[in-house]
Amino acid sequence: MTSESGPIYEVTFFVDPGIAGDCEAWLEDHVRATLREPGIVDCNVYSLANDEQGRIRRVCLHILASDEALDNFLEGAGTDIEAKLHAEFGDRISLGGRVLREDHAPFLSPESSPDCLNCGSQLRGQYCAACGQRSRSRLISLWELISDAFGDLFEIDSRLWQTLIPLLTRPGSLTHDYLQGRRARYMPPFRMYLVLSLLFFVVAFFDPREDLGLLFESEPQAASDEAKSPAEETAQEILDELAEEGLINRVEVPEGAEDAEEGLRIVFDDDEVGSADECDVDASDIEDMPAWLARRLSPERLNHICERIFDDDGRALADNLLDNVPAALIILLPLMAFVLKALYPLSKRYYVEHLLFFVHFHAFFFLILTLQILFLRLATLLRVPEAVAALTVVIAAFYVPAYLFVAMRRVYGQGRFITFLKYVILVVAYGAGFTATMLGALAIAAFSI
């Protein structure tokens, strides 16, 4: 057996602070008059926080016995509320009203209140209150699928732009807002980091003609020097100048070599550089290493790695290193968070809060590098003067360290001098950490070929 209450007529008042006292008195009179109306069960006034414009907010709840009593009230005394207020206070007060009814969804039968297809919770409306999925079972259209994929990209008020714009232009603001609890308006930090890092590596290292070569027609090789590309001509000029200055003896292309690039040999003092014969590691070279490391860096294994590197001019090593760089940068994040934890021992911040700072900074770094690469490629396509392109590189080179300094000040709130000292320590530690992680990535890449 359940009891049902009648509807509630809610009126919210937005009051200029200058008439707060007079308005309170008016509301007291209104409550007393309302309680004398037929069909009114109760009437109370509640205080809310001031709105963004500094206006005082009061809410008056009129509890009625039935829908019929509500209709009678709205046709009678309820219609005079706004007119009486404006007659006494003018534009210094405004109000809005709505009707609230009890939610009877828990008492509905399973047939009339189906479960959410996503999480299984009981539905009470068009959207699930637990997971937010819309209550529909039909297949979505192609247009809806495209809208879901690119909606955040083209909606100016989407979380994508509300995240990327402050990330790029307001150093430290995302970290500060997140720690203050303002999180729903932004993309989750680690998701943003992964998306921007993936975007950077795709933009920087993805070559359609190399990775999707099947989609492109093969280009005929140049039959003479006149058909060389500008890059090949520049490389040849550099090699010729080095030979003229005596830094190298000659540049040879062995007879019968089908690919001039693969057959190219640079000779110093009649000795070919890049020969696998130079790989000669013996036991004496690793005798000073710890036993556990010497077992892994055996002479045979080191010679094999050296020969593989010379055989393909280091291409496999470079590919493996590139594959390991994202993981190395992820390892760098917690290391730098420990440095921040040591630099701010009295900040009362948890380790994960320092980690969040570097997640946002690395996301910014990937974003600005991606924009820089795209701009340089566009500048080349549009034949923008080289001076303009070089200027953007210089600006980015100064903006990144300045961004880090301003972000530290905004998040940790210390003075310029103290922040600068900690900034210098952090930069030195960052350089050491970056070098160590890259050397680790290089070692793993070498032992993976």
pLDDT by residue for the chain (449 residues), tens only, comes to: 445 567 888 988 999 888 988 889 999 998 998 898 888 999 999 988 888 888 899 999 988 888 888 888 888 887 788 888 888 888 888 888 888 876 554 544 544 556 777 777 777 666 777 777 766 655 556 766 666 666 565 565 577 888 899 999 999 999 998 888 888 788 889 988 998 998 888 888 776 666 565 555 665 554 444 555 555 666 666 667 666 666 555 555 544 444 444 445 555 444 444 555 566 666 666 666 766 666 667 677 777 777 777 777 777 778 788 888 888 989 999 999 999 999 998 888 899 999 999 999 999 999 999 999 898 888 888 888 888 888 888 998 899 999 999 999 999 988 999 999 999 999 999 999 999 999 888 888 877 77
- Which residues sit opposite 266 in a β-bridge? 251
Beta carbons of 336 and 429 less than 8 angstroms apart? yes
Distance CA 157, CA 22 (A): 40
pLDDT of res. 351: 92
pLDDT of res. 273: 47
The candidate with the shortest Cα–Cα distance to 20, out of 60, 58, 51, 59, is 58
pLDDT of res. 257: 46
pLDDT of res. 340: 93
Beta carbons of 163 and 187 less than 8 angstroms apart? yes
Residue 99 backbone dihedrals phi, psi, to 5 degrees: -105, 130
Beta carbons of 174 and 186 less than 8 angstroms apart? yes
pLDDT of res. 110: 47
Distance CA 103, CA 419 (A): 55
pLDDT of res. 260: 45
**Residue 156: both structure tokens together:** 């100016």
- Residues ≥6 apart with Cβ < 8 Å to 44: 31, 60, 61
Distance CA 399, CA 367 (A): 13
Distance CA 325, CA 198 (A): 12
pLDDT of res. 51: 83
Domain ranges of the chain: 8-102, 107-138, 173-204+316-446, 233-254+262-274
Distance CA 78, CA 307 (A): 91
CA dist list (Å): 119 to 9, 127, 280, 402: 34, 12, 63, 46
Straight-line distance from the first to the last Cα atom of the chain, in angstroms, rounded to the nearest whole number: 75
For residue 6, which amino acid is it?
G
CB count within 10 Å of CB 123 equals: 18
Q: What is the sign of the dihedral through the CA atoms of 107, 108, 110 and 115?
A: negative
CB count within 10 Å of CB 427 equals: 13
Distance CA 146, CA 330 (A): 32
The candidate with the shortest Cα–Cα distance to 137, out of 111, 114, 110, is 114
Distance CA 429, CA 341 (A): 13
Measured torsion, CA atoms of residues 66, 69, 70, 74, in degrees rounded to the nearest 10:
180
pLDDT of res. 341: 93
CATH of 8-102, one of 2.40.30.10, 1.10.10.10, 3.30.70.100, 3.40.50.300: 3.30.70.100
pLDDT of res. 423: 95
The candidate with the shortest Cα–Cα distance to 357, out of 285, 301, 410, is 410
Distance CA 30, CA 13 (A): 13
Distance CA 232, CA 260 (A): 11
